Amino acid sequence: MSANAAAAPAKEKPKSKKMLIIVVALVLVLGIAGAAAFFFLGKKKHADDEEGGAAAAAPAHETAKTPPTFLPLENMVVNLADPGGDRFAQIGITVEVADAKTAEQIKLYLPSIRSSVLLLVSQRTSGELLVREGKEKLAKDILREVSRPLGFTVARERPKPASVPVGEDDEEQPPPRKAPKNPVQGILFSSFIIQ
């Protein structure tokens, strides 16, 4: 029995050495990984601080993009302003807004918005609406009409007079005030048929 007792501790000694080496190697690898993470993450934080920390200063709800809300309106059929009055347009409009709260506000004003849109479209001719620029101008005008009941204004595009050279009238005008961001983000056409 004494031979078996002497052999047993000898067999356990190599296993414990092997286990000790594995543990030391694991601790070493984890230490290196932790130091590397600290180094690289610390460097990124330092770079953000040098850039003014804009990302850190922005609230969490502003950095995460929320998808817009889409509010489809019923299709509208409108007589166009062509001579003879025999042309009409069927238009499907979807309003893109920042959030569901704005969509609910627009629904409150929907009758007046639809009326304004019908008046806008009825003033156009088929020639104006058949080209892309005419549709884009109509979309901007509709955006203005949808934004108006909510208290937001959309500036009209005004060409500069040809007699004033570019740059001369820029000095006389004060810088524009920063207007609050309009929650009505866009007007999308879901259908556009002219007959």
Return the top range by mean pLDDT from 56-60, 155-159, 184-188: 184-188
How do residues 24-50 score in pLDDT, each as one tens digit? 888 888 888 887 777 777 765 555 555
The CA–CA distances, whole Å, from 38 to 13, 32, 35, 51, 192 equal 37, 10, 5, 20, 57
Nearby residues of 192 by Cβ (< 8 Å), 6 or more positions away: 89, 90, 91, 92, 129, 135
State yes or no: pLDDT of 176 exceeds 70.
Answer: no
CB contact at 8 A, 149 and 123: no
How do residues 96-148 score in pLDDT, each as one tens digit? 999 999 999 999 999 999 999 999 999 999 999 999 999 999 999 999 999 99
State yes or no: pLDDT of 61 exceeds 60.
Answer: no
Instruction: Tokens 């627009």: give the residue.
Output: 106
In whole angstroms, what is the distance from residue 41 CA to residue 24 CA?
26
Instruction: Name the average pLDDT for the chain.
Output: 78
Question: What's the CATH fold of domain 69-157+181-194?
Answer: Tetrahydropterin Synthase; Chain A (3.30.479)
State yes or no: pLDDT of 57 exceeds 60.
Answer: no
- Structure-token pair, residue 125: 């001719």
pTM: 0.57
In whole angstroms, what is the distance from residue 155 CA to residue 140 CA?
9
In whole angstroms, what is the distance from residue 26 CA to residue 7 CA?
30
State yes or no: pLDDT of 79 exceeds 90.
Answer: yes
CB contact at 8 A, 76 and 111: no
Band of residue 60 on the pLDDT scale cut at 50, 70, 90: very low
